[in-house]
Each structure stands twice: as structure tokens, then as C-alpha cells.
Amino acid sequence: MQDDMIRPLQHIDANSIDHAISLLKEHGREATIIAGNTDEINWLKNRSRAPKVLIDLKPLGELRGFSRTIGGGLAIGPLESVTSVAENETIRDQYRVLSAAAQDVASLQIRNMGTIGGNLAQDSRCWYYRGGFDCYRAGGQTCYAMTGRNSDHAVTDYSRCITAHPSDGAVALMALDAEIDIRGASGKRSEPLSDFFVGPESNITVMNDLDRTEILTKIRIPGKWAGSSFYWEKIADRQAWDFPIVNIAAAIKKSENTVQDIRLVANGVAPTPKRLTGAERAIKGKKITEVNAKEAGKKSLPNAAPLSENKFKVPMTRNLVKRALLNAET
Amino acid sequence: MPPENSKLIGRNFDPPDARAKVTGRARYPDDLLMDNLLHAKTVKSPYAHAKVKNIDTRPAKNMPGVKAVITYDDVPEFELSSGGDDQPGIDSEPRTFGYPVAAVAAEDEYTAATAAEAVKVEYEKLGHITEPTDALNPNKPTPWQNGATSQTTPDRAGDGIAGWTAGERVRWENADFSKLFPGSPGKFQREDGWGDLDAAWKESTVTIERSYKAHPMTVNPMEPRTIVAHWKSNGKVMLWPNTQDCSPVAHYVPTEFPDMAEKDLTVNTEYCGGGFGSKQQWNANVMIALPLSKKTNRPVKYRGTRREEHWYPRARGAYVVRVKAGFDDQGNCRALEMDAIGDGGAYGAGDVLVKGLGIFYESGVELFSPDALRLRGVAPHTNTPKKWPMRNPGTTQGALVLSQIFRLAAKKLDMDRFELRRKNIVTPGDRVLIPDELGVKTEMEDVQARPALEQCGQLFNWQEKKSRSGTREGSKIYGVGIGTSEAGAAWVGFDGLVIIRPDGMVETRQAVGNLGSQSHAAIARMVAETLKVPWDQVVVGWGHSDKGAYSVEQDGSATTWSAGLPGVKAAENMKTYLREIAANELGGSPDDYTVEDGAVFSGANRMTFAEAAQAGIQLGGTYTGEEIPERFKPLKEGEYERYTPKLWAQTVRAADDMIGNALVAFGHTSEADATFVTGSVSTMIEVAVDIETGKVEIEDMATVTGCGTIIHPRGARAQLEGGGIMGLGYALLDHMQYDPQTGIPVTNDWYQSKSPSIFDYPLEGIQTGFVDEPLEGSPHGAVGFGEPPMSASAAAVVDAVDDALDTDFQTFPLRPMKILQKIENGETRVK
């Protein structure tokens, strides 16, 4: 229970992606990686985690930068700060939902330090898990939130762990149908961002599918949704330095106010970013009207099973879907 | 507006500590680096309530670099305040998560942390509670093996006035705990009141009765409470306790250590990064750092952390209350009943019983001015951090509740809320309570609550704004609310010390702390104004027990009056000396002479302060402090007399280096100066409540203080704004939460307890105003008002949300979850 005291460790600046991967392989469970270090440092200071080796990705220029891709898309180096994502002109012009989401992350100071890759790969914010309780996610045998303080927790898609995913960036990038590239000791792989996130029914101790030697190397936004109608809103208790109660990102292709295609994603409601497919189906092919938007909202969380303190998240999500449909703009 | 003929009062200035703070030169306890410094860490209980069965400190003691290990057997118990039940710094029955059971001191912080982790402790886990009503429930665990409440009990004398003594602990055997405020409550620990309640109820045409629960809150000052102590081998002790008080620490800490003399203890509180009351007197970590330093005769630093701020300090406690108010058809409050269960936390619940509940009652009385009154209260323990004090303790919890009573009453009476409040709010001559002296009713000497309310109404434009109440734009509904609050701010029994050096410089030596409110500078301005001396000729002293007159704690909104008046009295004495010296040197009568602009003069006869000081040194005697005026006869070292007319020993010691070498003037306040005045604040807020998300936006906010003459307009505005924002945070966001199953806090960080950010109030600013008329019996007509802005804004924003939704909330804070759920439940105007 000592806190604010990082245990002695070795800090190594990685000089290439391969170097970082070889270090991860060499040190195994004794190593962890940092980039912006706005999340991991809390675990270290609270002595909940005590890696012997800290592999720092910050020097890796190859993990930075923005570049246009074939088909009019955009590739983002995961080491780009959340601020640089928020301020990138292409993103502002073509993928405004992402700049709006990035602008709402944490606080200015954290946005300046934190990376977009870290925003995607961040750990659970369940206050039991963060508080050192021996819950399922921490390797224990119970979920304290299930019968305890669960106002911030998931209302759908949970299993033994009821954490809610906290990322803002993930929601916007999933709405843009982003893909990611990953490199590790076993080679390279790519996958849709939606497949990156891992729910507790698959593996209760992790939030994503990175294995111990893998590093996120690229985030790729396809050109398909460039310039679409977008909506972003984050409901949090505070206007800064807060995680979402519920957030929502919408990307909509419309023709004369009729929805041709749509991606609606929310966080704060499930252990992984939640694609609101029920609502998408309900509005697709229909005109956006108050009545239709409201009906779509009702379909947003069909399997919701809220807990003792978070019933309110269901109407909040329903209302946000309605607002997203009615207010999305190009 | 500055008062006529004033040169300093009512004008902005740069406080003497400001430059050091913004350049980083200010040295807080955590900045102290010394040769030989040891670092302390504690072994903390992993349970909300446990008993230590065995403790083995050998693994830590045997570790290289470890210099001392202490347990609960090594530290004296001590009384933090008027709690009645002592709080040990290290406990064998830790009653809250994270409470220390042992401590180590080592050559470096890493070794200390590792050593603390090496101490082997075998605990017997005991039952816990986190809700104050559970402590009264005989079917729930007892939060402390000695009992569920403090032993503090009124000891009624023949005239009905009660002191406090150790008595019976209570539990409510037959109460109905299914209700928010238990039905059929058992015995209360304090009862008070006045008037014929039965008759008053009969005269009431409108009666409102409601039960509420105000929530607990972590104080979260900017600076966690780091402490440095150095008990030297020669018996001298240096202490940097990170408190907002100075003199009382220097006086009372030695009473806990039989081998420490008051004259050997030096306390430095020059810089303290906020405390909001919770760093009043001294923190429990004194009982860790001092014993470790005593054992090693080396300086010991115990660095506080943000997590420990949530586990180990003092905090705002939950209040569960039942309020019943009766009004006649003209809106006059005839009867008021206030029943309260105040969470005392793990240690010293008597503080909440005596003071916290007392202040809550006082706030109700000052809002309602009832003809008949009944107050009942109990302060149980819980297995949560000690709950005393924090910015208007009791009043701020009450603010959430009492504003709703007014709103409901106004609705039933079909009266404007502003008019109803204006009609009932305290005015000079009204009967009021002295919070901690049961049975004592006194008369309000002077108060500006009503003018502040009226001015706030104009500034906010209440009549126009209220026309938007309940109107809707898109998903937003508008509402307006009022909050008013008071804080008694005049205590006596303290000293002032003013020195004029041979170079003509004026020193104001007050040992008040410096928690950031700038009141230490306000005192110096009043002294300088009294002497009409230019500000650049003044050296301001504060926060050092060897270098300042014995001063009031810097809390309770009391410093401006309670340290200001003795300072002004010292300055007036100094003026007398200057006139006498000038008359002696230059001829004429002392009464002929004027003191102004750093000189004393009568026509062409003129002496600068430097010349007067040099002449005074030749004369000696009382002018130079070599003789202390008979009326001041100082107390002996370590001696205490309540309301004594004598100077404190610390004060005389603080003048030591100047006695015989400068002009030395003392001042003192005693019972003859006692008065009952308060600083008042009224706040009005317009909110827009988003009925689709439950979010509350502050559309407009105006706040006005009636605190007499404004000494420092910029500082006063900062208090109004800062306190107002903190109140918004308490009502809407800030919440200390515990896991009910383990009693362990789940809010352990700023981002979890949710103090408001810069974006959580109107970016275009808060409108502020001052009544700015002198208050009777106050130094330069001024009192402090650091606390009421918080309570007033908390009350106003709850009232405004209620108004928007046409509902009332029983529990808080009003986060989106609570508001949206209320709407979903169909309990608002939103259908």
C-alpha cells in the first residue's frame, strides 16, 4: 500500500521497432512499454505493477507522422499525441469526428503527452481494478463492482467483469472503420480496429489482443467516410479530465436526408467500444426525422442489463443516438 | 470603494508571498532538503476496520538504511480538537482503510517504502460501516470497539448552558432504519432550542417536512500534507507541519509530549498549499514525524500523497437530516425543527457533534429566524476518515437541504423565493446560537446578510431571470436558484505585535498561517492603515511561531477579525508611543501630533519613524518592550487561560530580538472585545438542465458578500469566485465514495473524486459584488468570509436545478446519473 513510489527499474529507450520487439521478447513478463506514459505511470507509482524493464517507444520516429493512403485515406503513427490528432488539418477537414473526440480526451496537459495509440490501448478505469482490489481482471475470484459501486460500469455485453471501455479516440476511429497494423515477434498483422478490443468473455485480464511482444505500428482510416456527416458527443461529469459516462460517434452517408450508410459507436456502455448495430439497422434506408431518430435510439442497446446504479445509461445512450442522427453534419 | 481618507484599505496590492509563489521560491514542507534528512513511510491497514493481533517490525529494522521503526505503542494518543475521543497517530485498532499501524524512517524514501512493506502484520478483520445511520443501528457492525458514537455529552449547568463532558455512547435500538432519516429515533446526544414549539406549529399555515442526505467529500488541497520534524539532541524542536495554523500548533503540540517545552518548539507554516479547514491545528502525521525524529535526533520528512489525501486526512462528512419548517401566511418562519445525524468519521466524532452540528444549526437559525426552535443531533463514528472540518462544515451540507425547504415553502405560500428569504434572513439584533456552546443564545451584533441578498438580486437581475424558470429550449430547461450563507468570524483572546525599527521600517509580526487566503496580508494592511504608513515601509511577518504574536488559527473565516483586531490595537498603541516620543523630543502635547506617511508631526515639529524609533530606544521602558504594560502581564511559557487579558508567552518571545532595540507595541483582545458578527454571502445561479443527458450548465452566476469594509478587492473577489466554484463542485460533482462491501474508498484520485475544473463554471466569469459598508465592532469595519461563498453557491445551484425540473432531491451530488434517473422515474416536470 505504498504509493507515489515507483519501484527501481531499468528504463531503455528503444531505437527501432525491431529493437523494442526484441526487448519485449528478451524480458518477457518483466517488461512493459510506455509511450506517452499517462496511464502506465499511475500503475507504477501505486506499486500495483513493478516491471523490471521499461521499454520507451518515444524515440521511434517511425511510429509518428500522418500520411495519405491510396483511396484517399489517412495513416496515423500511433505515437502522435492526442493534441496533434485533434489539430491535424486533414482530420479536421475530412474526419471531423476524430478531431472532436481527440479534443475531448482528458485535459490539455494529458492530450499533449498522451498518444493516440495509448488512447486505444488504455487499460480499464474500473475503480476497483485501479484501486488494487483482487478482482477477476486482476487475477482474483470476484467482481466487486457487480454488487458494489457500479455507476460508471457497463450496461451490456459484460460477463464476469463489468468494466466499461473508457476511450474517446477508439469510438471515433471505429466509426470511421479504421484498421490497425501490429508488429511483434511473430511478424506483422493487420485487423479492423473493432477486432482489436477484447471483451471479458474472451480474456478477462486484457482490454485488447496485443500479445506480450506486439506493438501497435499504424492506424489507418479508409477514405470511404471522408467528408461524411459526423456527430460526436461525450457526456462526462466534468468538462475536463474525465472519462465518458457515455460517448457517441456517428458517421453517416445521406442522400436527401435518407440514411444510406451509417456507423454508430459508443463507449462507457460495454467492456469494449460498442457498435450500435440495432440503431444503425433501424435508421438505414430511412429519412432522418424526429420520430425515426427516436425509434432508432430505442434500438441502441437491445440486450441492456443495467446494474443497481447505472440504469440511467440506457436512456442516456438512447437520447445520444437520437441527437447524433438529428444533428450530424458534414 | 475605498473608505474616505484610506490609503491602503480597499485598494489592490500584491500580497507579500505572491511573487515567491509564482516564481517557485516559496518553500513548502516537501521542498525542504536538509543534511541528514530521514524519510518516513507508514505501514497501512488494508482493512476499513481491524485489530492488530501481531506485528513484527524486525524485517524492517534489520534492513540497511533503516534508522527507526515505531508502532502504536510508541506514540501518545492526542486530542485533535474538541473531539472528546483521542486520535492516535498510529493505531492498534485502525478504524479506516489506510490508517497507519507502524512507521519507519530511513535514509532514503525508497528504502523507507520497502521497509514499510517488510513489516509483518497479522490483523483480525472487524466489521465496518460507512454510513452514519448504520452506526446507530444495533444490527450493524460497531465502527469502533469502544462504541458507535463519541462519548461527548452536554454537561448542563443550572442556567441551562452546557459544557461538554464524557458521557454515554448511544445506539438507536428501536428505530426504523428503512427510512432515509430513521423513524422513531432513539436518544440524541445534543438537544437545544427556544420558544413554544406547540404554539408556533399552530400558528403555521404552511408546513414543510423533508429528509435529506448530504454526501461526504474529500478536501483535496493542492498540496498533500507533507510534514517535516526535527527534534534535536539539545531538546530544540523544529516543525514544518503543513498546517494553516501556527500559534496553536506551537502551544498545543507540546502538551502531547511531556518532555517538550513550548519555548523549545518552533513552528513554521509560512507556506501551505491549501487546507480549506482540514489542515486546522495539526494533522495526525505530527504523531508520526515527531516520534521518529525524537528517536533519531535527525530531521524526518513524511511526504503526503494524493492517495493518502483520500485515506488518511480530515474530510467533509455525510449529514442525514430531517427538517420541518412552519410559516405563517405572511411567510414568517414560526417554527423550525432540525434533526441531524452527522458523520464523525473514524476518530473524534465529538468534533462533529459539538461544532459541526452546531454550525449546521446556526446556519438554519440565521436563514429562518424562527420564533420557536428545536434542534437535536447525534454524531456517530464510521469507518471513514475523520470528518472535521472543511469550509463551512455543517453549513455547506445544510445548504443543499435548507434551500429546498425555502423553495417548497415559497411554492406553497405562492411567494417569490427571494422575498421569502429576504423576510426571514438574519438581521442585527436577532437571536442566534453560539454553535459549540449548547444553550447559549446571543444577539447578532451586526450582519449584512439582507443587504447582500438585495444587492445580489440586483446584480443577477432576479426578477427578470426568474421569468425564464421552467422554460424549455430544445432539450434544455432553465431554472434559477438562491443561496445564502453566513460564517461567524470574531474570536477573541489573541495578540498583536508591531515594531518600528531604528531604520524606520514597520514590522507587523503575526503568527498566522498562510493557506492561500491572503488574510495574513490583510492584517498587515489594517495595521499599516492604522499607522498611515506607506506600504513599502512595511515588513510583513507571518507563519513563524518564534517571530509572530500569538494569533488565531487561520480558519473559520476568522483571521481578518480575530488577528486583525489585536494587530490594529498594537498599531494604535504604537501611535500613542510615537506621539508621546515626539512630544517628549519636540515639545507640545502628544494629542497635538499626527501620525502619517511614516512620520509623526505637529506643525513644523516633525520626526520620521526612524528618528522616533531612535529617540524611543533612548527612552526605553514600555516603548522598547523592556517593560510590558501592566494590563498585559504575560502568561508563563505553556500557560493557557481562556479569554485572558494577558499576552501569550509566544508573543513576548516573538519580540525578543527587538526588545531594547526598536519600538515595540503589543495589542490584545479579551472578552471585553467579544462580539457576534458574521460574514455573509448571497449567490444566485441560472442553470440549463439538459433533460436528455442530465448535464447541468451554469448559465449565469452572481455572488455578493456583506463582510463589512473590503480590505483587498482583488483578494475578496478571488475568495468569492473560488469558494463559489468549490460549492458548485460539492453540489454537482465532488463525492467521496466507498465500496459498501469492504469499506475501502473507490475514489482515490482527483479524477475520481471530481473537483470542478476550470471548464465547469461560466467561462465568461462569475459576477461579484460587495456591500462594502463597515461592520460595527470590527477592525476597520471588516470581517473574513472565506467559507460562506461555498455554501451559498451549493445551495443556489441545487435550488436552480430543482426549479428547472420542479422537483426536489434527497441525495447528492446532482451528477447527470442522478438527474437523468429522476427524469426517467417521472419525478420531474418532464413528461
User: DSSP letters of A157-208?
Assistant: S-SS-------SHHHHHHHTT-EEEEEETTEEEEEEHHHHB--TTT-TT-SB
Helix ranges restricted to H, B14-168: 18-23, 58-61, 109-118, 132-136
Burial of B19 (0-12, 13-18, 19+ CB in 10 A): exposed
Question: For B348-377, what is the mean pLDDT?
Answer: 93
Q: Which of A20-24, B502-506, B645-649 has the lowest mean pLDDT?
A: B645-649
Question: In angstroms, rounded to a whole number, what is the distance separating the alpha carbons of residues B270 and B28?
Answer: 8
Q: Kindly report the CA angle at B396 between B390 and B399, in degrees rounded to 5?
A: 175
Question: For B547-553, what is the mean pLDDT?
Answer: 96
Q: What value does the mean pLDDT of chain B take?
A: 94
Q: What is residue A147's predicted lDDT score, i.e. its pLDDT?
A: 96
pLDDT digits (tens, 9 = 90+) for B162-172: 677 777 888 99
pLDDT digits (tens, 9 = 90+) for B103-135: 999 999 999 999 999 999 999 999 999 999 999
Distances (CA, A) of B580 to A268, B534, B567, B613, B680: 76, 21, 20, 12, 40
* DSSP string over B337-348: EEEEEE---SS-
Which grid coordinates belong to B126?
472487524
Q: Which residue has the higher pLDDT, B151 or B374?
A: B374
B263 touches chain A (CB under 8 A): no
Q: Kindly report the CA angle at A41 between A35 and A42, in degrees rounded to 5?
A: 140
Question: In angstroms, rounded to a whole number, what is the distance separating the alpha carbons of residues B782 and B2?
Answer: 12
Burial of B387 (0-12, 13-18, 19+ CB in 10 A): buried
Residue in chain A closest to B697 (alpha carbons) equals A239
Question: For B740-769, what is the mean pLDDT?
Answer: 93
Q: What is residue A319's predicted lDDT score, i.e. its pLDDT?
A: 98
Q: What is residue A304's predicted lDDT score, i.e. its pLDDT?
A: 98
pLDDT digits (tens, 9 = 90+) for B554-596: 988 999 999 999 999 999 999 999 999 999 999 999 999 999 9
Question: For A295-322, what is the mean pLDDT?
Answer: 98
Contact A241 B820 (CB under 8 A): no
Distances (CA, A) of B176 to A43, A283, B34, B182, B210: 44, 51, 58, 5, 16
Percent of chain A whose predicted confidence (pLDDT) is above 90:
97
Q: What is residue B157's predicted lDDT score, i.e. its pLDDT?
A: 57
Question: B319, B398 in Cβ contact below 8 A?
Answer: yes
Question: In angstroms, rounded to a whole number, what is the distance separating the alpha carbons of residues B736 and B743?
Answer: 12
Q: Which residues of chain A are within 8 Å of residue B824 when distances are taken between CB atoms?
A: 311-312, 315
Question: For A103-112, what is the mean pLDDT?
Answer: 97
pLDDT digits (tens, 9 = 90+) for B623-668: 999 999 988 888 888 888 777 789 999 999 999 999 999 999 999 9
Q: What is residue B149's predicted lDDT score, i.e. its pLDDT?
A: 87
Question: In angstroms, rounded to a whole number, what is the distance separating the alpha carbons of residues B283 and B483?
Answer: 32
Q: What value does the mean pLDDT of chain A take?
A: 97
Which grid coordinates belong to B694?
442530465
Burial of B438 (0-12, 13-18, 19+ CB in 10 A): buried
pLDDT digits (tens, 9 = 90+) for A170-202: 999 999 999 999 999 999 999 999 999 999 999
Q: What is residue B147's predicted lDDT score, i.e. its pLDDT?
A: 87
Q: Which of residues 32-61 of B touch A (CB under 8 A)?
A: 41, 44, 46
Q: What is residue B434's predicted lDDT score, i.e. its pLDDT?
A: 84
Q: Which of residues 703-742 of B touch A (CB under 8 A)?
A: 733, 737-742
Q: Which of residues 610-649 of B touch A (CB under 8 A)?
A: none
Which grid coordinates belong to B679?
460574514
Of the candidates B789, B825, B612, B773, which has an alpha carbon nearest to the alpha carbon of residue B704?
Answer: B789
Q: Which residues of chain B are within 8 Å of residue A315 when distances are taken between CB atoms?
A: 820, 823-824
Question: In angstroms, rounded to a whole number, what is the distance separating the alpha carbons of residues A96 and A90?
Answer: 9
Q: What is residue B328's predicted lDDT score, i.e. its pLDDT?
A: 98
Q: Give every CB contact of residue B554 below 8 A, 6+ residues apart in sequence.
A: B244, B245, B246, B512, B513, B514, B515, B517, B519, B520
Question: In angstroms, rounded to a whole number, what is the distance separating the alpha carbons of residues B143 and B127?
Answer: 7
Which residue from B305, B746, B815 is facing A128, i.e. has the nearest CB?
B746
Q: B88 CA to chain A: closest CA distance, Å? A: 20
Q: Which of residues 69-128 of A touch B (CB under 8 A)?
A: 107, 127-128
Which grid coordinates belong to B708?
463589512
Q: Kindly report the CA angle at A187 between A181 and A191, in degrees rounded to 5?
A: 30
- What is the band of B82 on the pLDDT scale with cuts at 50, 70, 90? very low
Q: What is residue B640's predicted lDDT score, i.e. its pLDDT?
A: 80
Q: Which residues of chain A are within 8 Å of residue B117 when distances are taken between CB atoms?
A: 2
Contact A4 B116 (CB under 8 A): no
Which residue from B475, B739, B760 is facing A144, i.e. has the nearest CB?
B739
Q: What is residue B166's predicted lDDT score, i.e. its pLDDT?
A: 75
pLDDT at A241 over 80: yes
Q: Which residues of chain B are within 8 Å of residue A235 when distances are taken between CB atoms?
A: 693-695, 816
Contact B760 A239 (CB under 8 A): yes
pLDDT at A238 over 70: yes
- What is the band of B312 on the pLDDT scale with cuts at 50, 70, 90? confident
Q: What is residue B194's predicted lDDT score, i.e. its pLDDT?
A: 94
Question: For B413-437, what is the mean pLDDT?
Answer: 94
Helix ranges restricted to H, B476-608: 519-531, 559-562, 564-586
pLDDT at B81 over 60: no
Task: Return the DSSP state at B530.
Answer: H
pLDDT at B536 over 70: yes
Q: What is residue B388's predicted lDDT score, i.e. its pLDDT?
A: 85
ipTM of the complex: 0.97
Residue in chain B closest to A294 (alpha carbons) equals B692
**Residue B506 backbone zone (phi > 0: left; psi -120 to 50: alpha; other: beta):** beta
pLDDT at B275 over 50: yes
Burial of A329 (0-12, 13-18, 19+ CB in 10 A): exposed
Q: Which of residues 225-264 of A touch B (CB under 8 A)?
A: 235, 237-243, 245
CA A258 to chain centre: 29
Neighbours of B443 (CB within 10 A): 11
Which residue from A133, A238, A310 is facing B754, i.e. has the nearest CB?
A238
Residue in the block written with cell 489542515: B279
Contact A4 B758 (CB under 8 A): no
pLDDT at A37 over 90: yes
pLDDT digits (tens, 9 = 90+) for B480-497: 999 999 998 899 999 999
Contact A239 B757 (CB under 8 A): yes
Contact A316 B109 (CB under 8 A): no
Question: B418, B409 in Cβ contact below 8 A?
Answer: no
Q: Which residues of chain A are within 8 Å of residue B752 when distances are taken between CB atoms?
A: 127
Question: In angstroms, rounded to a whole number, what is the distance separating the alpha carbons of residues A179 and A194?
Answer: 8
pLDDT at B522 over 70: yes
CA B497 to chain centre: 24
